[in-house]
């Protein structure tokens, strides 16, 4: 029989999924952290299931560093093609502004691993109810190394508590994982409250995708630039169609040579995966001229007036 707290927890999880907030992800705090990694949330499949899930996120920031949107990365989470990754890669080859290039680098997803844990040195709720815990790949590799020596550390009765020591800041942050000297069995109630990491990762993708696309359009380019990327022409990003006039055909002999500005715009810019804070040196390019629908209509009207004048002269 479910308790009132279990019913409340289930309802909050449902609301979080519907509103796109997802669950709260916990990470190791500075100093020593004592945790118990819990077994797989998938049951009844007839096979051994992993107790972890790969997970990556795009943290989309403006040029001031303010976070505007966070969305899951399909490539880092599932190994599938990710339209966010494709868009960022394309923009890195087009944009020459240093501040925008820095924001592009910070928006690139980093691969991590999430697991269910009990935070044994946390508050009362963290000791009794599972938390979603995020680890870097190298830290999780240390967890697996402990399993090589101690066996299945996730076993509720015979498993092993872990101590993760975090030190340093920023790019100098280091984690050290070791088996605790003593371990306690996992309360049965905690096993019935495991987070479904499949559902969590899926919600991080689907419920936040549209907001992420809108912010990418606002920060990194005009609607025309977004439309050029193909996969980002979704609701909220479409602009009124503009009337275009066919240009006269130019023979190869009449075609002018490429200008230096055009050559600079075509130069590819590589982003360093390991150092997102780096300022990238690029060739200067001309600022993009964004033509609004109103301006386009004015230009078209002027062209029509000229054509009328020429027709009158022919008469």
Tokens 């001309």 identify what position? Answer: 286
Dihedrals phi, psi of 154, to nearest 5 degrees: -90, -5
**Is 181 a domain residue?**
yes
Read off the CATH number of the domain in which 33 is found.
3.90.198.10
Indicate whether this model's pTM tops 0.75.
no
**Is 190 a domain residue?**
yes
Helix (H) or strand (E) holding 68: strand 67-72
The pLDDT of residue 252 is: 44
**Is 162 a domain residue?**
yes
- Which has the closest alpha carbon to 213: 239, 237, 194, 195? 237
Domain containing residue 48: 8-206
**Is 15 a domain residue?**
yes
- How crowded is residue 129: how many other Cβ atoms within 10 Å of its Cβ? 18
Separation of alpha carbons 303 and 208, rounded Å: 44
Q: With both helix axes pointing from N to C terminus, report the angle between 209-220 and 98-107 in degrees, rounded to the nearest 10.
A: 160
> How many folded domains does the chain comprise?
1
246-300 pLDDT tens trace: 444 444 444 444 444 333 333 333 333 333 333 333 334 444 444 443 443 444 4
Q: How far is CA 208 from the centre of its chain?
A: 10
- Which has the closest alpha carbon to 57: 73, 77, 81, 80? 73
**Is 231 a domain residue?**
no
Separation of alpha carbons 193 and 246, rounded Å: 63
Helix (H) or strand (E) holding 103: helix 98-107
158-198 pLDDT tens trace: 999 999 999 999 989 999 999 999 999 999 999 999 999 99
The pLDDT of residue 286 is: 41
97-156 pLDDT tens trace: 999 999 999 999 999 999 999 999 999 999 999 999 999 999 999 999 999 999 999 999
Contact 282, 98 (CB under 8 A): yes
**Is 248 a domain residue?**
no
Coil, strand, or helix at residue 53?
Answer: strand
Separation of alpha carbons 34 and 161, rounded Å: 7
**Is 237 a domain residue?**
no
């Amino acid at each position: 029989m479910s308790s009132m707290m279990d019913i409340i927890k289930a309802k909050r999880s449902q609301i979080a999924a519907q509103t796109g907030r997802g669950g709260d992800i916990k990470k190791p705090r500075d100093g020593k952290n004592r945790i118990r990694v819990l077994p797989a949330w998938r049951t009844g499949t007839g096979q051994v299931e992993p107790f972890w899930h790969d997970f990556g996120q795009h943290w989309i920031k403006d040029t001031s560093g303010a976070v505007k949107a966070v969305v899951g990365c399909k490539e880092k989470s599932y190994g599938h093609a990710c339209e966010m990754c494709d868009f960022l890669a394309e923009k890195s080859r087009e944009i020459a502004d240093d501040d925008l290039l820095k924001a592009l680098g910070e928006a690139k997803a980093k691969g991590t691993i999430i697991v269910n844990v009990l935070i044994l040195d946390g508050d009362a709720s963290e000791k009794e109810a599972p938390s979603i815990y995020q680890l870097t790949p190298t830290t999780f590799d240390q967890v697996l190394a402990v399993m090589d020596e101690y066996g299945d550390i996730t076993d509720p009765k015979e498993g092993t508590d872990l101590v993760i020591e975090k030190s340093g800041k920023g790019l100098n942050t280091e984690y050290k994982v070791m088996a605790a000297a003593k371990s306690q069995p996992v309360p049965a109630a905690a096993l019935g409250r495991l987070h479904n990491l499949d559902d969590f990762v899926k919600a991080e993708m689907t419920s936040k995708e549209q907001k992420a696309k809108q912010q990418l359009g606002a920060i990194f380019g005009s609607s025309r630039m977004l439309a050029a990327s193909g996969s980002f022409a979704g609701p909220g990003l479409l602009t009124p169609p503009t009337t275009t006039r066919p240009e006269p055909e130019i023979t190869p002999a009449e075609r002018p040579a490429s200008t230096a500005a055009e050559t600079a715009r075509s130069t590819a810019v590589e982003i360093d995966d390991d150092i997102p804070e780096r300022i990238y040196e690029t060739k200067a390019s001309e600022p993009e001229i964004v033509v609004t629908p109103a301006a386009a209509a004015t230009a078209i009207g002027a062209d029509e007036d000229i054509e009328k004048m020429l027709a009158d002269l022919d008469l």
